[in-house]
């Protein structure tokens, strides 16, 4: 009972944060390079794309849905936006690029929402469909050809913070800042607006929410639209970081990100999860990988270890449910 | 008192061909607790939905609210007049806190206004204190008992300014003590001028707390009666139109002992339970919710293993490692949760009946024979006088009473010698209940040994030859219904 109470007070996020800090201490002691600005900035730069995806996805999970089409949707956004900019808008600029990415991403998300809401199809089926549809269209129209000749504004990296380091300097780039903005925006909507709480309510009990006057379409449209918007932004940032657009660069990212978000406390049943949890989930997996790297563990072991972490995390958080029912009832 | 909160006259509603409500009159006074009684399908829910604006009634209706008379009402108008319904499912959000559940309507009304958890907390505390309730606004609803969730639902409608509250089966899954608390709260709400309509199956409670009772039968108003001087027997006659018997089972037909429990214990659940069950006997097992009734049944049915003590069948020690062993030894157990555990709701009536005896229905081996399944179902449908139009339909298409007959058929198909019935009349109408008990008595007359678990003293009193009253996992008292009154038995259970 005390343990359960404690768990509740700290929550998944608290547990994750403690593990994360413990891991950082261990890695800082075990390696010379972990606790350097260079390494930490690299981590943030590299994970910004995943975190943007993750905060979008957590909204859908809280609303009780699931989406596996967002990573390929991001690839579609990259192609559509860059083709438009290069061919019709004379190359464009950052503002236009971001706005256009948000718009196209959101439209793809709304397409999912429309199918899920209008035809009452389960979200996983719809997004398996659109996952294939988006990727199929992309491959068909591009014939698998990458775009290497991207506009200058997107090509050159935008340093925001430059600190002197042992070798050269440690630099924080634009994607990290964009990530912070997306994180704060999503957090604010989910935790500090009535609409955000209504999303939790809807995920927790859709029928009650409907009877309380919550518009089911608005919830669906927002959740999938927001994930689409985030995916659009993440896609643009990924293209910016790798300085090219490759059609199959993002496919396959959906499951690790989903795993990270679930690690962060979201469930497939809806009503649970938080932006902080999603961010910590991505960071935990990233730091584990980073640490293994620094410790010289073979990269072939990464996936296996990540898989184990997820299974251990999920099993331990469900341990409470394994206690005999009656003892639990008596304690309450 | 005396002030009218709502008076609805000439309320009718037609769905397709059937007249669900026929010229019903309904009157609720300010600050009174009224009971709306009637069997399933009598039109209670339809009447509530018309009054709170969900359904539009047929022409000619008059809805008056003291000063004003309307011919129709919209859901929003109903809310503005303070009419709220707490449905049986409570419509709460289990993952949110109590406070957030109470202020949830604000979230819907002003979705983009930044929220403050502090405000939500203070506002919920105010409501909770104003009505003297026992609730922690910081707790998550999923961690609360059903009784506490009910309080959350009440707080929510009070905060929305409710002056007329309809409560649909509020006592259905509460323990005796919780029911008393809830009824106490309804009384104190009424004292503050709020009118309450209780829809309930439990006649005893209704008579205890309500001032008047309005009875509907088949869409028609039977009448509104003061509860003073009203008896359960008369009320159920009004509801069903049948003269039901309210006497204990006449004579006992005790045969040889079949099942014997010797100091059976299971840690944390029950202790030193001993009794002998005979052929042809109906043994009542009663006590408050959580007294260990169902736990004992689970152990006899092999689903849990005792930590000490012995189970004997026809004098032979019995070790059951699973419920499959129990079925093999001709023990059957009808679960109290028919909806989720007793039947597979969206499967056909045929499959639900056949599921316990599938190997017997194979022909050739490993292949189920549709003919055998059909023959089995037809046999039991006839035996138990079940109303089924097509046995291929999902079992969820049947009424509560008929569903229970199918659940019973499924176990009778295993040809049990010991049949354990765990609250077999939950969610079954008064009229249909009598039918189920007729079946149970007949089975006993044919020599089956039956353990009847129920928390309704009346059911035990009328049907059991012998009743064991449990408390905190121990047998507290043994009662012979024929030698005592229902009230005395009730008093022992709740002592």
- Please state which of the ranges A268-282, B26-40, B234-248 shows the lowest mean pLDDT: B234-248
B92 to chain A, any CB pair closer than 8 A? The answer is yes
**Closest CA of chain B from A205, distance in Å:** 6
| Residue-level pLDDT at B336 | 84
- Is residue A8 less than 8 Å (CB to CB) from chain B? yes
pLDDT tens column, B77-132: 888 899 999 998 888 999 999 999 999 999 998 888 888 889 999 999 999 998 88
What is the mean pLDDT of the segment spanning A133-143?
95
Q: Tokens 């549809």 label which residue?
A: A133
B128-172: pLDDT as tens digits: 998 888 899 999 999 888 889 999 999 999 999 999 999 988 877
Bridge partners of B33, per DSSP, are: B196
Structure tokens at B387: 């109303």
Region A251-262: mean pLDDT is 92
> Is A231 or B361 the better-scoring residue by pLDDT?
A231
The pLDDT tens digits for B203-245 are 777 788 888 999 998 889 999 999 888 888 888 888 888 776 6
Put simply, the answer to whether B107 touches A195 (Cβ < 8 Å) is: yes
Where do the H-state alpha helices sit in chain A?
2-30, 37-62, 70-88, 94-118, 123-142, 152-155, 174-192, 194-204, 206-211, 216-242, 254-263, 275-294, 302-317, 325-331
CA–CA gap between residue A172 and residue A180 (Å, rounded):
12
B38, B215 contact by CB (below 8 A): yes
Is residue A168's pLDDT more than 80? no
Local confidence band at B251 (pLDDT 50, 70, 90 cut-offs): low
Facing residue for A212 by CB, picked from B95, B108, B268: B108
Query: pLDDT: is B32 or B202 the higher one?
Result: B32
CB contact under 8 A, A201 and B104: yes
Compare all CA atoms of chain B with the CA of A211 and give the residue at the minimum distance: B91
**pLDDT score of B455:** 81
CB pair distance less than 8 Å for B93 and A193 = no
**pLDDT band for position A3 (50/70/90)?**
very low
Question: Does B295 contact A211 at a Cβ distance shorter than 8 Å?
Answer: no
Nearest to A198 among B95, B108, B114 (CB): B108
Question: Do residues B392 and B348 lie in contact, with contact meaning Cβ atoms separated by under 8 Å?
Answer: yes
Contact between chains at B114 and A193 (C-beta distance less than 8 A): yes
Q: What is the mean pLDDT of chain B?
A: 88
**Is there a contact between A201 and B107 if contact means CB atoms under 8 Å apart?**
yes
**Pairwise CB contact (< 8 Å): A193 & B143:** no
- Decide if B145 and A207 are in contact by the 8 Å CB cutoff: no
Closest in A192, A208, A213 to B115, CB measured? A192
Indicate if the pLDDT at residue A320 is higher than 60.
Answer: no
Distance (Å, whole) CA A211 – CA A93: 46
Residue B15 contacts A, CB cutoff 8 Å:
no
Token pair for B461 = 């009193």
CB of A198 within 8 Å of a chain B CB? The answer is yes
- A261 pLDDT above the threshold of 50: yes
Q: What is the DSSP string of B30-84?
A: TT-EEEEE--TTSSHHHHHHHHTTSSPPPTT-EEEETTEEES---HHHHHHTTEE
Looking at the complex, report in whole angstroms how far the Cα of residue B292 sits from the nearest Cα belonging to chain A.
10
Q: What is the pLDDT of residue B359?
A: 87
Question: Is A72 within 8 Å of chain B by CB?
Answer: no
Mean predicted confidence (pLDDT) in A103-129:
95
Residue A324 pLDDT: 45
Q: What is the pLDDT of residues B327-369, one digit of tens each?
A: 999 999 998 888 788 888 889 999 999 999 988 888 888 889 9
Instruction: Please indicate if any CB of chain A lies within 8 Å of the CB of B234.
Output: no
Query: What residues of B are in contact with residue A193 (Cβ under 8 Å)?
Result: 111-115
Minimal CA separation from B358 to chain A, in Å: 31
Cβ proximity of B240 and B431 under 8 Å: yes
As a whole number of angstroms, the distance between CA B292 and CA A297 comes to 55
Q: Which residue has the tokens 């506009």?
A: A151
How many angstroms separate the CA atoms of B184 and B178, rounded?
10
Q: By the CB < 8 Å criterion, does A118 face chain B?
A: no
Mind spelling out the 3-state secondary structure of A247-302? CCCCCCCHHHHHHHHHHCCCCCCCCCCCHHHHHHHHHHHHHHHHHHHHCCCCHHHH
**Nearest CA to CA, how far is A182 from chain B (Å)?**
18
Using CB atoms, pick whichever of A193, A272, A326 lies closest to residue B268.
A326
In whole angstroms, what is the distance from residue B254 CA to residue B339 CA?
A: 33
Which residues of A are less than 8 Å from B92 in CB distance? 205, 208
Q: Which residue of A has its CA nearest to B156?
A: A212
Contact B199, B44 (CB under 8 A): yes
User: What integer pLDDT is reported at residue A328 of this predicted model?
Assistant: 35
Q: Determine contact: B290 vs chain A, CB below 8 A.
A: yes
Domains of chain B: 4-240 (3.40.50.300), 257-494 (3.40.50.300)
Contact B95 A327 (CB under 8 A): no
Place A331 in a pLDDT band, splitting at 50, 70 and 90.
Answer: very low
For B106, name the nearest residue in chain A, comparing CA atoms only: A194
Q: Does residue A4 surpass a pLDDT of 70?
A: no
Contacting residues for B145 by C-beta, under 8 A, at least 6 apart: A332, B178
CB contact under 8 A, A194 and B111: yes
pTM of the predicted model, to two decimals? 0.82
**A197 touching chain B per CB within 8 A:** yes
Interatomic CA distance for residues B311 and A207, integer angstroms: 46
Closest alpha carbon within chain A to B89: A208
Give the phi and the psi of residue B412 in degrees, each rounded to 5: -65, -30
For residue A322, pLDDT beyond 80: no
A282: pLDDT strictly greater than 90: yes
Reported as a pLDDT band with limits 50, 70 and 90, residue A241 is: very high
Between A134 and A16, the more confident residue is: A134
Dihedrals phi, psi of B91, to nearest 5 degrees: 50, 50
B367-407, pLDDT tens digit by residue? 899 999 999 999 999 888 888 888 898 988 888 788 889 99
Segment B448-477 mean pLDDT: 90
A194/B92 touch (CB, cutoff 8 Å), yes or no: no
Which pLDDT value is given to residue A330?
Answer: 34
φ, ψ dihedrals at A26, nearest 5°: -60, -45
What was the pLDDT predicted at A318?
60
Between CA B492 and CA B495 the distance in angstroms is 5
Q: Which of A31-45, A59-73, A212-226 has the lowest mean pLDDT?
A: A31-45
Q: For residue B449, report the phi and psi dihedrals to the nearest 5 degrees.
A: -95, 125
Q: How many other C-beta atoms lie within 10 A of the C-beta of residue B475?
A: 21
Using DSSP bridges, classify how beta strands B33-37 and B195-199 pair: parallel, antiparallel or unpaired: parallel
Give me the residue from A212, A272, A329 closest to B105, CB to CB. Answer: A212
Find chain B residues with C-beta within 8 A of A6's C-beta: none
Taking CB atoms and an 8 Å cut-off, how many pairs form between chains A and B?
78
């Amino acid at each position: 009972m005390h343990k359960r109470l404690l768990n509740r007070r700290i929550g998944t996020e608290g547990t994750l944060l403690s593990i994360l800090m413990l891991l950082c201490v261990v890695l800082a002691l075990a390696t010379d390079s972990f606790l350097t600005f260079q390494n930490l900035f690299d981590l943030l730069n590299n994970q910004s794309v995943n975190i943007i995806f993750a905060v979008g996805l957590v909204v859908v999970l809280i609303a009780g849905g699931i989406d596996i089409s967002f990573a390929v949707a991001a690839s579609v956004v990259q192609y559509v936006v860059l083709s438009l900019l290069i061919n019709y808008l004379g190359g464009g600029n950052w503002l236009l690029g971001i706005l256009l990415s948000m718009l196209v991403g959101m439209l793809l998300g709304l397409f999912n929402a429309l199918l899920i809401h209008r035809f009452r199809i389960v979200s996983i089926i719809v997004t398996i469909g659109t996952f294939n549809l988006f990727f199929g269209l992309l491959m068909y129209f591009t014939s698998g050809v990458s775009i290497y000749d991207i506009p200058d504004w997107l090509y050159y990296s935008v340093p925001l913070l430059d600190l002197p380091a042992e070798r050269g300097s440690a630099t924080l780039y634009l994607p990290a800042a964009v990530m912070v903005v997306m994180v704060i925006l999503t957090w604010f909507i989910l935790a500090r607006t009535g609409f955000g709480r209504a999303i939790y309510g809807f995920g927790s009990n859709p029928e009650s929410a409907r009877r309380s006057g919550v518009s089911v379409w608005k919830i669906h449209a927002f959740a999938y639209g927001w994930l689409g918007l985030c995916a659009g932004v993440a896609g643009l940032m990924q293209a910016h970081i790798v300085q090219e657009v490759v059609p199959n660069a993002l496919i396959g990212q959906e499951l690790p990100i989903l795993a990270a978000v679930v690690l962060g406390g979201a469930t497939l049943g809806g009503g649970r999860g938080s932006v902080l949890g999603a961010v910590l989930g991505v960071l935990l997996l990233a730091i584990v990988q980073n640490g293994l790297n620094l410790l010289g563990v073979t990269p072939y072991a990464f996936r296996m270890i990540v898989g184990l972490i997820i299974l251990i995390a999920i099993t331990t958080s469900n341990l409470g449910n394994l206690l005999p029912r009656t003892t639990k009832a008596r304690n309450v | 008192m005396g002030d009218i909160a709502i008076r609805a006259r000439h309320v009718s509603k037609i769905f397709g061909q059937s007249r669900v409500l026929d010229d019903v009159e309904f009157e609720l006074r300010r600050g009174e607790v009224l009971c709306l009684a009637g069997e399933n399908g009598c039109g209670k829910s339809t009447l509530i939905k018309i009054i709170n604006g969900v359904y539009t009634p047929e022409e000619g209706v008059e809805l008056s609210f003291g000063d004003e008379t309307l011919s129709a009402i919209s859901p929003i108008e109903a809310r503005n007049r303070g009419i709220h319904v707490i449905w049986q499912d409570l419509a709460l959000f289990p993952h949110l806190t109590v406070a957030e559940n109470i202020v949830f309507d604000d979230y819907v009304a002003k979705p983009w206004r930044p929220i403050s958890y502090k405000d939500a907390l203070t506002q919920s505390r105010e409501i909770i204190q104003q009505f003297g309730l026992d609730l922690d606004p910081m707790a998550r609803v999923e961690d609360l008992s059903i009784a506490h969730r009910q309080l959350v639902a009440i707080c929510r409608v009070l905060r929305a300014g409710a002056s007329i509250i309809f409560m649909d089966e509020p006592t259905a899954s509460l323990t005796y003590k919780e029911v008393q608390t809830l009824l106490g709260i309804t009384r104190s709400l009424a004292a503050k001028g709020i009118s309450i309509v209780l829809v309930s199956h439990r006649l005893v409670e209704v008579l205890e707390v309500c001032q008047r009772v309005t009875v509907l039968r088949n869409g028609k108003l039977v009448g509104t009666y003061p509860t003073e001087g009203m008896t359960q027997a008369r009320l159920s006659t009004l509801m069903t139109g049948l003269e039901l018997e309210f006497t204990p089972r006449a004579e006992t037909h005790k045969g040889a002992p079949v099942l014997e429990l010797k100091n059976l214990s299971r840690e944390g659940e029950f202790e030193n339970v001993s009794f002998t069950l005979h052929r042809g006997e109906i043994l009542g097992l009663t006590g408050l919710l959580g007294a260990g009734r169902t736990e004992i049944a689970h152990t006899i049915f092999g689903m849990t293993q005792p930590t000490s003590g012995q189970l004997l069948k026809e004098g032979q020690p019995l070790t059951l490692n699973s419920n499959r062993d129990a079925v093999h030894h001709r023990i059957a157990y009808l679960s109290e949760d028919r909806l989720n555990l007793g039947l597979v709701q969206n499967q056909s009536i045929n499959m639900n009946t056949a599921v316990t005896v599938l190997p017997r229905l194979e022909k050739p081996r490993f292949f189920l024979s549709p003919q055998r399944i059909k023959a089995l179902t037809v046999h039991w449908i006839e035996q138990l006088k079940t109303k089924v139009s097509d046995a291929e339909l999902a079992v969820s298409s049947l009424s509560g009473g008929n569903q229970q007959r199918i659940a019973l058929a499924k176990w009778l198909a295993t040809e049990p010698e010991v049949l354990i019935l765990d609250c077999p009349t939950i969610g079954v109408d008064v009229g249909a209940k009598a039918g189920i008990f007729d079946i149970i008595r007949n089975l006993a007359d044919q020599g089956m040994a039956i353990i009847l678990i129920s928390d309704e003293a009346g059911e035990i009193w009328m049907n059991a030859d012998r009743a064991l009253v449990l408390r905190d996992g121990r047998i507290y008292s043994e009662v012979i219904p024929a030698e005592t009154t229902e009230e005395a038995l009730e008093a022992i259970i709740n002592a």
